[in-house]
Amino acid sequence: TESTTDPVSLLVSDTGKTTFDAAYLAALEPALTNRTSEAFSLYILNDIRKKFIENWQESGSDSKFPNALFTFQKRMLDEGYFELYNYYMFSEGADDEYSDYYNKHTTNIKSFKKWWRKNYLTMTNKNSLYRTLYR
């Protein structure tokens, strides 16, 4: 079922306290532009997340604030798996939409799952990330 929740209202209320928070919001806010009147869906979520990663990279924030998750998501975007990843990861929240998507992209989803088994994100002490790291 689609929700009409304003995506801007989903932002954490205490953001903007670090330079990382400011960079995060600077990459996210343009991705949310003109989204407040649309019903929230996997399609919209994917588009927001894609634009965020593109904005994060274009702004140079990836160099200033190395982030293993965002780097991994950029890799998936470059390799053509990011949309499939988003639909797969958030499928439980939108069963009907995912079912329709799955039926149209079965071969690609199978390819993604095969890729995913060999290319998952690994967190280590060297690439761990947490909010206070950027203070």
Domain ranges of the chain: 11-126
CA dihedral 81, 84, 85, 88 (to 10 degrees): -160
Residue type, 76: M
Number of other CB atoms surrounding residue 45 within 10 Å? 19
The pLDDT, as a whole number, for residue 93 is 86
Average pLDDT, the chain: 86
Model pLDDT, residue 1 = 47
Question: What is the tens place of the pLDDT at every residue in 11-32?
Answer: 545 544 788 889 999 999 999 9
Residue 82 has pLDDT above 80, yes or no: yes
Output 12 or 48, whichever has higher pLDDT.
Answer: 48
35-49, 60-74, 77-91: least confidently modelled range: 35-49
